[in-house]
Chain A
Amino acid sequence: MPVEIDLRYVARLARLELGEDEIATLAPQLAQILEHAGRIAAVATEHVPPTASPLPRVNVWRDDEPEPPLPVDEALRNAPDREGDRFRVPRIVEGG
């Protein structure tokens, strides 16, 4: 079954700028991969619970005890742009 993906919509969701050439290459590749992956639809799973993790644990938590945070210069050391002790980003447009 051929799979149609709205690549531009998905790329926007993923905040990923894609060139036209990339979209042209990706579209058939993804269709092929999804066609293969989509075969699991045929597996009977009506009464099978999903597994999110192979780990058998529950209730893993820590005590409410503070530890020293990073020194502020360490926190900002990798910042691509900063102003004072805050991270700087281009303006934010709602719904953008």
Chain B
Amino acid sequence: MSRGSPDLCDLSASELGARLAAGEITCAELAESSLRRIEAVEPRLGAFLTRTPELARERAVELDAYLAAGGPRTSASGIPTALKDVLTTRGVRTTCGSRILADYVPPYDATAWARLSGAGAVLVGKTNCDEFAMGSSNEHSAFGPVRNPWDLERVPGGSSGGSAAAVAAGEAVWALGTDTGGSVRQPAALCGIVGLKPTYGRVSRYGLIAFASSLDTVGCFTRSVRDAALLLRAIAGHDARDATSLDAPVEHPGRDLEAGVAGMRIGLVAGALEEGVEPGVREAVRTALDRLAALGAELEEVALPHAEHALSAYYLIAPSEASSNLARYDGVRYGVRAAGEHTDVAEMMARTRGRGFGPEVKRRVILGTYALSAGYYEAYYGQAQRVRTLIIRDYEAAFERVDVLVSPTSPTTAFRLGERLDDPLAMYLSDIFTIPANLAGVPAVSVPCGFADGLPVGLQITGPPLAEARILRAASALEADLGLDLRPPLLASL
């Protein structure tokens, strides 16, 4: 049952690539399709913080001329693209969803965007997110929430909620987000699209405005698994400007996409379908696992014994690093300085930060500062780092037995706006299944696997370091087998 007839912006990048190659459509038409969609749905969604229609039109015309003159086409050529507003764009305001950076114009492009742009992608805008990527609902943005295209009273997930909603609603064909504890996979699951978090170091972090440096990754939002492979390929690879970027060669992550899962050993994370997981989510995941088994996968249950401590370790490590990374926002070199007279520079900095940061950021900065302060380091940060080692060892042991691990991406479907806003711990529990992969630095993808009460459910597939091709292959097999209609109801009203 199709909801409304698809526009160009509703097609996948791989299909659009074929049409562009065949000369059936132009980049300019494609850009217009995306810009029209933004005009139509943005008043209800709030996915964008900054829109760049003029830049997009200019770039599309330029690309059409370039391609007409025989310039080589890439899989990103002409594709309307949205970027989470924590990725720097030279000359285009980049806010991190924070008042403190409301007027910040970066002097340089993030490497991931520079590569994508160089490959011909067309920027349509910068997307809303939780302030400094801290949150799981996008309600911690200083510029208002984003709404879920499946139900406007519900959150799109976070922190990359704007990117997820924009792709789900066809405002962009694909988008980049960032994933520190699940900020790509969880909103992808809640919005019914594909969300890929690559191996730590696979994609350069240069220009990714840091939240927690040892956990941050740039990730991909797409409406098909194939597009996720194409997008990753366009942005991945070593970058001399990021000392933590991997120098391993990048195999084409979409190479074995259709090889299927026959004989693949799939491990269900022990306990992943027990308490705390909504029944509807549990059911959708079980059905998906049955399908994978029917396709020839060998299923077994695998324990990650220390995963139960992942959330605790994460909520010590991430805020500690954040308290350090966010120290630079002091009203001296950039950003919004608190107005009025200040008796000295220390007061100016404290006021600038006190007024410029929202409650969630303050909560985590205080938490991290405390965890690193004299006398507490070993008990909190030090111990969390040791637990991190144990979690990495759990994964190593698991991947000796199985090829990939699966679990729900999120224990629930999209929740109502405001539902968890006053209970930080309940909000943090949204990321219980996604956080371990960040601690271990391993790749994971969320792929739609069904619905619960009309809301999409995501299955998380995790692999060992650098095994992006493998997890995408499993995701692709499931995607093809399920054949879900993932056009959100919002589009039917257009």
Q: Is chain B in direct contact with chain A in the complex (CB below 8 A)?
A: yes
- Cα separation A4 to B246 with both chains bound (whole Å): 42
A55 touches B200 (CB 8 A): yes
Which stretch, B45-53, B140-148, B189-197, B310-318, touches the partner chain A? B310-318
- Cα separation A11 to B362 with both chains bound (whole Å): 9
B343 touches A53 (CB 8 A): no
Q: Say yes or no: A53-B382 contact (C-beta < 8 A), given A15-B349, A48-B390.
A: no
Q: What string of 1s and 0s marks CB contacts (under 8 Å) between A48-92 and chain B? A: 111111111100111000000010001101111100000101111
Give chain B's interface secondary structure class: helix
B346 touches A10 (CB 8 A): no
Contacts of B450 in A (CB 8 A): none
Which stretch, B70-78, B257-265, B330-338, touches the partner chain A? B330-338
Residue in contact with B425 in the complex, picked from A14, A36, A90, CB distance below 8 Å: A36
- Cα separation A25 to B348 with both chains bound (whole Å): 24
Task: Select from chain A the residue with minimum beta-carbon distance to B201.
Answer: A55
Distance of B267 from chain A, by nearest CB (Å): 20
A13 touches B369 (CB 8 A): yes
The answer to whether the Cβ of B387 comes within 8 Å of any Cβ in the partner chain is yes
Distance of B43 from chain A, by nearest CB (Å): 30
The answer to whether the Cβ of B287 comes within 8 Å of any Cβ in the partner chain is no
Interface size class of A (residues with CB under 8 A): 35 or more
Number of A-B contacts (CB under 8 A): 183
B244 touches A90 (CB 8 A): no
- Cα separation A48 to B367 with both chains bound (whole Å): 25
- Cα separation A40 to B306 with both chains bound (whole Å): 10
Task: Select from chain A the residue with minimum beta-carbon distance to B103.
Answer: A78
Q: What string of 1s and 0s marks CB contacts (under 8 Å) between A33-51 and chain B? A: 1101111110101001111
Residue in contact with A48 in the complex, picked from B104, B107, B349, B386, CB distance below 8 Å: B386
Distance of A70 from chain B, by nearest CB (Å): 6
Contacts of A19 in B (CB 8 A): 354
Q: Say yes or no: A89-B363 contact (C-beta < 8 A), given A40-B383, A53-B214, A96-B346.
A: no
Task: Select from chain B the residue with minimum beta-carbon distance to A50.
Answer: B385
A41 touches B244 (CB 8 A): no
- Cα separation A34 to B316 with both chains bound (whole Å): 8
Contacts of B345 in A (CB 8 A): 89-93, 96
B366 touches A14 (CB 8 A): yes
Residue in contact with B353 in the complex, picked from A15, A38, A61, A74, CB distance below 8 Å: A15
Contacts of B244 in A (CB 8 A): 53, 55, 57, 60
A40 touches B316 (CB 8 A): yes
B105 touches A80 (CB 8 A): no
Task: Select from chain A the residue with minimum beta-carbon distance to B351.
Answer: A17
- Cα separation A92 to B348 with both chains bound (whole Å): 10
Contacts of B424 in A (CB 8 A): 29, 32-33
Distance of B356 from chain A, by nearest CB (Å): 10
B370 touches A10 (CB 8 A): yes
Distance of A25 from chain B, by nearest CB (Å): 8
Contacts of A91 in B (CB 8 A): 344-345
Contacts of B365 in A (CB 8 A): 14, 16
Task: Select from chain A the residue with minimum beta-carbon distance to B331.
Answer: A80
Distance of B426 from chain A, by nearest CB (Å): 10
Q: What string of 1s and 0s marks CB contacts (under 8 Å) between B203-243 and chain A? A: 00000000000100000000000000000000000001001
Distance of A65 from chain B, by nearest CB (Å): 11
Distance of A44 from chain B, by nearest CB (Å): 9
Residue in contact with A81 in the complex, picked from B337, B349, B440, CB distance below 8 Å: B337
Distance of B467 from chain A, by nearest CB (Å): 14
Task: Select from chain A the residue with minimum beta-carbon distance to B308.
Answer: A39
The answer to whether the Cβ of A24 comes within 8 Å of any Cβ in the partner chain is no
Contacts of B246 in A (CB 8 A): 55, 57
B214 touches A93 (CB 8 A): no
Of B104, B244, B350, B370, most buried by chain A (CB within 10 Å of CB) is B370
- Cα separation A51 to B354 with both chains bound (whole Å): 32
Among residues 421 to 442 in chain B, which have CB atoms less than 8 Å away from a CB atom of chain A? 424-425, 428, 439-442
Residue in contact with A39 in the complex, picked from B312, B330, B441, CB distance below 8 Å: B312
- Cα separation A14 to B439 with both chains bound (whole Å): 25
- Cα separation A26 to B247 with both chains bound (whole Å): 43
Distance of A60 from chain B, by nearest CB (Å): 4
Contacts of A5 in B (CB 8 A): 366, 370
A45 touches B366 (CB 8 A): no
A16 touches B333 (CB 8 A): no
Residue in contact with B392 in the complex, picked from A40, A51, A92, CB distance below 8 Å: A51
Residue in contact with A78 in the complex, picked from B104, B309, B354, B367, CB distance below 8 Å: B104
Task: Select from chain A the residue with minimum beta-carbon distance to B429.
Answer: A36
Across the A-B interface, the 3 shortest Cβ-Cβ residue pairs: A54-B441, A17-B354, A50-B385
Residues on B close to A: CB < 8 A?
103-105, 107, 200-201, 214, 240, 243-244, 246-247, 306, 309, 311-313, 315-316, 323, 327, 330-337, 342-351, 353-355, 357, 359, 362-363, 365-367, 369-370, 373, 379-380, 382-390, 392, 424-425, 428, 439-442, 465
Q: List 18 A-B contacts (CB under 8 A).
A: A7-B366, A10-B366, A10-B370, A15-B350, A16-B362, A16-B366, A17-B351, A17-B354, A18-B354, A39-B312, A48-B390, A50-B389, A54-B442, A55-B244, A57-B246, A79-B334, A80-B334, A89-B348
Additional A-B contact list (14), CB under 8 Å, known A45-B390, A62-B240: A14-B365, A15-B350, A16-B350, A16-B362, A22-B359, A29-B363, A45-B386, A56-B465, A74-B107, A77-B107, A79-B332, A79-B333, A89-B345, A90-B348
